[in-house]
Each structure stands twice: as C-alpha cells, then as structure tokens.
C-alpha cells in the first residue's frame, strides 16, 4: 500500500493511500466474481464424475449462478443506491463467502445448484455496490478513469486467469474451486470493513424497492436463457413459446417501470445513447468471450485429448490483460479517447474468434497462439473503457443502477453466449468422430464471431465519450 499521496505530473491526479486501499479491495471483489465463474467452468467434468450428475443437472450448476446474478443485478444496484453502498457491499460479500463454502461441501447436485444460485444472488448485490463506491468516491474525470482502468484490469484478470487457476485446483480436488474463494472473500471482507469509509444512509424518503419489476425482469431472463439453451433438445413450438413468454415479460417490465412511482430502472436513464451502446456492446462482448472460452476448452480436452492442467495453462496467455490493462490502456485512452480504444478491443475479439476457425485436428499450440493473444488484447483494450463509458455522466444517486445495468448486460450476454454455442454445437455435431466434433466446434464458433462483428458495428457509432459525457450530464440531470 502506498504510504502517502501519489501525483501523476501529466494529469495532476492525486490518489491517497486510503483511496488506493479501497480501490484494491473493490478490485479484489470483482476479481473474485470473475475467477469464481471461470474456475467453475473447467471443474464441471470433475463435478459431474464425483456427484453423478446428468448433463441437464450439470448445466444448472452454471445457469443457477448466472440467473441469480443476472436476474437480480438491477435490484442489487438499486439497493446500493437506497440502503447505502458500503452496507450492501459488506453484507453481500459475507453471503457470497458463506454459500461459496456450502458449494464446496455439497454432497449432491441439488445442494450445489441451490448454493450457486444464492452465491450468484449475493454477487448481484455486491458487484454494482462496489462499482458505485468507486464512481462516487473518485471525482469524474482523469482520477475516476484511472481508478476504473485498474478496477477493469483486475476484473478482466479474474475472467482470464480463472481458467488457469481452476485447472490447477481441479487437479487436486474440484472442491478447492469453491474453497479458494472463501479464503479470498474473508480477506476482502476484513479489509473492506476497515478501509471503506462509513457514510450516512442516503435520504430516499418515499422511495421503495420495485419488487414487481425485479421479479418480472428476473423471470424474463430465466425464460430467455432457458429457451435458447433448450433449443436443440426440444420441439420448435416449445422454444418459440418460451422465448415469446420471455419477451412478453420484458415488455411487461417496461410497462411497470413507466407507471410505478419508484421504478427499478428509471426510463429516462436510457436517454443516454452512450450508456445504451455500452450495455449492448457489453452483452455482445461477454457472449462472444464466454462462448469462445467454452468451445476452446472442449476443443483442447475432447478433441485434442489435453488434460485439464494442460488446457488451462494453454489459455494462460489470455491473462496478459492483467499486466497491460493498467499500464498500456490508460496511455492509449489519454491519446485517443475511450471510444476508439474500446473499438480496437472489439476488433481484436473478432480477430481472435475468426482465427480459431482455422484450428484443426493437429494444429500446434503456436498455430492457436495468435487467437489467444488477440483475446487477451481484446480484454486489455475493451473492459476498462467500456466501464467508463457506461458510468460517465450518470448522476451520483444512480451510479448503483448504472453499474447494475452494465453487469446485467454482462451476465445476460454470458448466459446467451454459452447457451447459443452449446445449442449450435449439439445441432452441428453429427457423430462422435473427430471430424464431426471439429465441424461442430467450427459451426458454434460462428456464434461468438457474429457477436463480435455486431459489437464492432455498434462500437463504430460511439463518439469520443470523454467529451460526450460533459455534454450529456446537464441534460440527464434535467431529465
């Protein structure tokens, strides 16, 4: 920890030691969330073998967390704004700790699935609360941007390094994938209680939680993800009915938010075009990454016969963003602005997915390496600027909501990306031969590639968001 204030001569940015401590604690929490998800993905085969789970039950080990996280994220962000960010963060982190440990102790699938749902629910309150502590504790401009770059870099590191750490822990015992987050959570909880400053509970007289809206959007997310995931296993009418009902609930949610006195999501917040674009891009980016990650693991382990440790170490290079995001990305943002750097990251993602389409039955690791490096560069350039664009210019009392929207988009994208590639992979794999498996992987890779191409198209419409934030802030305040 830094003993005294630090000043950046080029920008006059001063960050005190306590602020650094708070930033590192909150960055540790988002790292914890990312690593928790990524580690679980690579531990699934071992979990299935030990607990004797069916394929359907195994899928719900992942989906339960995603649905609890994505479905309640908006309610979590609103709770941070209404009840106090520090309080919500500490309580949610404690619940995360307890139920992660319960997952490690589970002796059957039902217990594990229930534990994962509550862990995701805790993350839904913890993550937007943590992000809003940063965006309200650091003044908007270079100081906040620098903090968010560090926060984004460490968070992205959780996603990219989680596969490696998960592989190593799974080689010992899959239960360590759940016990390791318990230890990290405990350290973060003690540090957060000591470092995050107390503040009075916001005066939100007359405001209440929009439980009806929260339940409606949660049900909509569940149905949409379920409809996509089951598309390759059930008849078309079932899929169409599930997706149709999900979309109907989305429409009902919009109607509820327009009429309620205390909406979960104030409709006026969507007048910020950059916020909307950031959320769309975030959804597409995470859909592509999680789908790509899932397929690479299957390719390496099922087709190429690599061990869990070998596959996880092969993906270690994606974690280069941990070193580059806090060092290279801020310099690029100062030179070019957030929007162009974000766009470059999206282009690298498209390159990564497209390049891996060339992988065959005997492709060497060096042949795959450009794709993995490009994915690391995509996270390096995209994650931090995306977080900044999604929160700049938003009023302080809605920073929790802005964070909730962004991370809802992340989780919804991750769920749809995984479901989409799984459905296409199953439909396109005609048999169990190596050629058929390869054909299935290549067909499924078109899902993340398509998501990345659309994200590039959306990102191309961004202006320089550093200037746009200054222009829109008065209008948003008036709205």
DSSP class per residue in 158-192: HHHHHHHHHHHHHHH-TTHHHHHHHHHHHHHHHHH
DSSP class of residue 463 equals -
Q: What is the mean pLDDT of residues 100-104?
A: 92
Confidence of residue 167 (pLDDT cuts 50, 70, 90): confident
Question: 171-207 b/e with 16+ CB inside 10 Å = b?
Answer: eeebbbbbebbbebbeebbebbeebbeeeeeeeeeee
Q: What is the mean pLDDT of residues 460-470?
A: 57
Whether 4 has a pLDDT exceeding 50, the answer reads no
Angle value at C-alpha 466, between 335 and 89, nearest 5 degrees: 110
Question: 304-336 b/e with 16+ CB inside 10 Å = b?
Answer: bebebeebbebbbbbbbbbebbbebbbebbeee
Give strand pairing partners of 7: 14
Domains located in the chain, CATH noted: 17-196 (1.20.1250.20), 266-472 (1.20.1250.20)
Convert the pLDDT of each residue in 120-135 to its tens digit: 999 989 988 888 888 8
Q: What percent of the chain has pLDDT over 70?
A: 89
Confidence of residue 453 (pLDDT cuts 50, 70, 90): very high
Question: What pLDDT is attached to residue 479?
Answer: 39
For tokens 């540090």, name the residue: 191
Give strand pairing partners of 14: 7
Question: What pLDDT is attached to residue 412?
Answer: 79
Higher pLDDT, 452 or 223: 452
- Enumerate residues 6+ apart whose C-beta is below 8 A from 166: 35, 38, 39, 40, 41, 42, 43, 177, 312
For tokens 């199953």, name the residue: 426
Q: And the tokens for 212?
A: 């009806």
Q: Are 215 and 267 in contact (CB under 8 A)?
A: no
HSE at residue 316, side-chain half, CA atoms within 13 A, is: 11
Q: Are 141 and 3 in contact (CB under 8 A)?
A: no
Q: What percent of the chain has pLDDT over 90?
A: 28
Confidence of residue 112 (pLDDT cuts 50, 70, 90): very high
Question: What pLDDT is attached to residue 2?
Answer: 36
Q: Are 349 and 374 in contact (CB under 8 A)?
A: yes
Q: What is the mean pLDDT of residues 165-171?
A: 84
Whether 301 has a pLDDT exceeding 90, the answer reads no
DSSP class of residue 264 equals S
- Enumerate residues 6+ apart whose C-beta is below 8 A from 450: none
Nearest of 337, 281, 203 to residue 453 by alpha carbon: 281
- Enumerate residues 6+ apart whose C-beta is below 8 A from 364: none
Convert the pLDDT of each residue in 374-413 to its tens digit: 999 998 899 888 988 887 777 776 777 777 788 888 877 8
The rounded mean pLDDT for the chain is 82
Helix (H, G, I), strand (E, B) or coil at 86: helix
Q: What is the mean pLDDT of residues 19-31?
A: 88
- Enumerate residues 6+ apart whose C-beta is below 8 A from 243: 223, 224, 227, 228
Q: What is the mean pLDDT of residues 108-118?
A: 91
Question: What pLDDT is attached to residue 203?
Answer: 54
Q: Which of 195-209, 250-264, 364-378 has the lowest mean pLDDT?
A: 195-209
Q: Give the count of beta carbons closer than 10 Å to the beta carbon of residue 248.
A: 12
């Amino acid at each position: 920890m830094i003993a005294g204030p630090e000043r950046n001569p080029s920008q006059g940015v001063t960050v005190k030691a306590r602020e650094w401590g708070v930033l590192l604690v909150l960055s540790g929490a988002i790292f914890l969330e990312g690593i928790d998800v990524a580690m679980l993905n690579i531990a699934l085969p071992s979990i299935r073998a030990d607990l004797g789970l069916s394929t359907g039950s195994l899928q719900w080990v992942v989906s339960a967390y995603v649905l609890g996280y994505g479905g309640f994220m908006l309610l979590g962000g609103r709770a941070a704004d209404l009840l106090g960010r520090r309080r919500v963060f500490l309580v949610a982190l404690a619940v995360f700790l307890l139920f992660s440990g319960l997952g490690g102790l589970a002796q059957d699938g039902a217990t594990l699935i229930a534990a994962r749902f509550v862990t995701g629910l805790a993350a839904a309150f913890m993550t937007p609360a943590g992000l809003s502590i940063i965006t309200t504790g650091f003044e908007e401009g270079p100081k906040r941007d620098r903090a968010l770059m560090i926060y984004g870099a460490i968070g992205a590191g959780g996603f990219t390094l989680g596969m490696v750490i998960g592989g190593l822990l799974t080689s010992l015992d899959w239960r360590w994938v759940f016990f390791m987050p318990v230890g990290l959570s405990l350290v973060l909880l003690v540090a957060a209680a000591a470092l995050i400053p107390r503040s009075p509970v916001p005066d939100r007289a007359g405001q209440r939680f929009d439980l009806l809206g929260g339940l409606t959007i949660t049900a909509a997310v569940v149905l949409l993800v379920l409809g996509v995931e089951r598309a390759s296993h059930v008849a078309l009418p079932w899929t169409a009915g599930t997706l149709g009902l999900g979309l109907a609930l989305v429409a009902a949610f919009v109607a509820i938010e327009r009429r309620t006195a205390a909406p979960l999501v104030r409709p006026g917040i969507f007048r910020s075009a950059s916020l909307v674009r950031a959320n769309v891009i975030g959804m597409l980016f995470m859909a592509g990454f999680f789908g790509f990650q899932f397929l690479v693991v299957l390719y390496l382990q099922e087709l190429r016969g690599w061990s869990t440790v070998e596959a996880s170490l092969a993906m270690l290079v994606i974690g280069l963003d941990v070193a580059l995001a806090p060092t290279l990305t801020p310099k690029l943002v100062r030179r070019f602005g957030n929007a162009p750097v974000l766009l470059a990251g999206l282009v690298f993602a498209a390159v990564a997915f497209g390049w891996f389409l060339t992988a065959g039955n005997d492709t060497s690791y060096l042949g795959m390496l450009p794709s993995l490096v490009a994915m690391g560069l995509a996270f390096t350039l995209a994650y931090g600027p995306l977080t900044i664009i999604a929160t700049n210019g938003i009023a302080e009392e809605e920073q929790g909501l802005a964070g909730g929207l962004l991370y809802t988009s992340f989780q919804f994208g991750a769920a749809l990306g995984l479901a989409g590639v799984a459905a296409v992979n199953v439909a396109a794999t005609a048999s169990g031969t190596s050629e058929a498996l390869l054909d299935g992987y290549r067909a499924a890779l078109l899902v993340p590639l398509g998501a990345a191409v659309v994200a590039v198209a959306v990102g191309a419409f961004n202006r320089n968001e550093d200037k746009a934030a200054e222009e829109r802030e008065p209008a948003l305040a008036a709205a």
